[in-house]
Amino acid sequence: MSGGERQRVALARALLSRPALLVLDEPTTHLDDESIRRLLQNLRQLPGRPSVVAISHDPVVAERADRVHTLRDGRIASSMPAAEPPAAVAAARPAER
């Protein structure tokens, strides 16, 4: 199996139990652009819509998030609501390093 296929199988297995909370670490790794788009769309349309915490460096994931929290040295350095444009999220990163 490719990395993307393994990623999709792992997510499908996690969803079988219909969890109330999903914690996804780099969920878009090994996925092509179309698969990323479908994944993020499908997560929003899940039955029972579980809460999703996605840990990611992927700006596409940040664009689809309701809130974006940036960590620095293990602490929350900034928090932006969904209304913030993705450019604001990207611009905040270098200043916090």
pLDDT digits over 40-93, tens only? 888 888 887 889 999 998 888 888 888 888 888 988 888 877 555 555 555 555
Q: Is 40 helix (H, G, I), strand (E, B) or coil?
A: helix
Alpha carbon distance 54, 26 (integer Å) = 7
**Is the entire prediction scored with pTM above 0.85?**
no
Q: Domains of the chain: which residue ranges?
A: 1-57, 66-97
What CATH superfamily is the domain 1-57? Answer: P-loop containing nucleotide triphosphate hydrolases (3.40.50.300)
Q: How confident is the model at residue 94 (pLDDT cuts 50, 70, 90)?
A: very low
Which carries the bigger pLDDT value, residue 26 or residue 87?
Answer: 26
Model confidence at 39: pLDDT above 80: yes
| CA-wise closest residue to 29 among 59, 63, 3, 10 | 3
CB 58 within 8 A of CB 28: yes
Alpha carbon distance 84, 68 (integer Å) = 9
